[in-house]
Amino acid sequence: MRDQNESIKILHVDDEPGFADMAATFIEREDVRFNLKTVTSPDEGLQHIKTEPVDCIVSEHDMPEQTGIEFLESVRDEYTSLPFILYTGKGSETIAS
């Protein structure tokens, strides 16, 4: 069980640095326990979780290297139960399902 004061490590993956910085600001304002690290590619994300464990990943879907779904599949290969939140700025039923 997590201590009420323990930091919650979130990895945010988004290829748009400006949006990533803005999202980090909003997320960290929600709860002082949120400790957010932002990277700009799925490859960076995979490298990060290998060296610094996280409690959750929040990832954009539409990225040039690979989609958020492909990134999720890569994460699931080694981290089967790591919480993963996928979002997109494009309102597509295909992406949602």
Residue type, 51: T
Of 16 and 20, the one with more pLDDT? 16
Per-residue pLDDT for 4 more than 80? no
Nearest to 27 by CA among 37, 40, 42, 16: 37
Q: Provide the phi-psi class of 73: left if phi over 0, else alpha when psi is between -120 and 50, else beta.
A: alpha
Per-residue pLDDT for 1 more than 60? no
Is there a contact between 70 and 61 (Cβ–Cβ < 8 Å)? no
Out of 3.40.50.300, 3.40.225.10, 3.90.1150.10, 3.40.50.2300, the CATH code matching 8-96 is 3.40.50.2300
Q: pLDDT per residue over 42-65, tens digit each?
A: 999 999 999 999 999 999 988 888
% of the chain beyond a pLDDT of 70? 88
* pLDDT for the residue 97: 55
Main-chain dihedrals φ then ψ at residue 87, nearest 5 degrees: -135, 165
